[in-house]
Chains A and B, each alone.
Chain A
Amino acid sequence: DQQVKQNSPSLSVQEGRISILNCDYTNSMFDYFLWYKKYPAEGPTFLISISSIKDKNEDGRFTVFLNKSAKHLSLHIVPSQPGDSAVYFCAARLTSGSRLTFGEGTQLTVNP
């Protein structure tokens, strides 16, 4: 299942700088996109989402951008903090009740 893809398995940034995590998808019928964060030994935790009718959604230090024509979304974290170090999953769904399709995840490390 390659419908949602995160091509970077890892990303390392300095504290205070911007982290940009990328995600590509192939199914143009996806109507909603989500980012989850996962710490070791914990389940995924919802971070931020965006509807397919929008191109940007912001929540504090987190902003998600959606480029439908490129079938690409990105998560920006600014400023990055060491506590942001985790695996970040991009996910997409077809309709409001349907399954989430996840990407592979990107391990973000924020260095003090």
Chain B
Amino acid sequence: EPEVTQTPSHQVTQMGQEVILRCVPISNHLYFYWYRQILGQKVEFLVSFYNNEISEKSEIFDDQFSVERPDGSNFTLKIRSTKLEDSAMYFCASKGQINEKLFFGSGTQLSVL
């Protein structure tokens, strides 16, 4: 079965540093998402992306966050200046058509020290 690929699997960074989390969605998919799960908490929606623009974002997704699909295959999440509370597992997800199921990647565990 096709997979959503996320790199790296673990990222450790210092508070205030910029991080970029990378995702390769399934190749013919059109809808892209980032979710995150802070340890012991729910999986939370961050942002959805379609047709090269953000279609929906949550209150978590403030000015420190941005997403990009730079080359037609990668989908990235950038956190400009990381905070301790950004430590979480970040999941990328994609789907082909709007009514199809969502495929998730294995996640990037971000640790902000």
Instruction: Sort chain B's interface into a size bin.
Output: 20 to 34
Number of A-B contacts (CB under 8 A): 52
For A41, the chain B residues whose CB sits under 8 A away are 106
With both beta carbons as reference points, the residue of chain A lying nearest to B40 in the complex is identified as A104
Q: How long is the Cα–Cα vector from A36 to B91 in the complex, in angstroms?
A: 14
Q: Which of A45, A49, A89, A97 contacts B43 (CB 8 A)?
A: A89
Q: Which of A34, A99, A102, A105 contacts B58 (CB 8 A)?
A: A99
On whether the beta carbons of A43 and B93 are closer than 8 Å, the reply is yes
On B, residues with C-beta under 8 Å from A are: 4, 31, 33, 35, 41-45, 48, 50, 55-56, 58, 91, 93, 98-99, 101-107
**A-B pairs with the 6 shortest C-beta distances?**
A43-B104, A99-B45, A46-B101, A102-B43, A44-B104, A96-B98
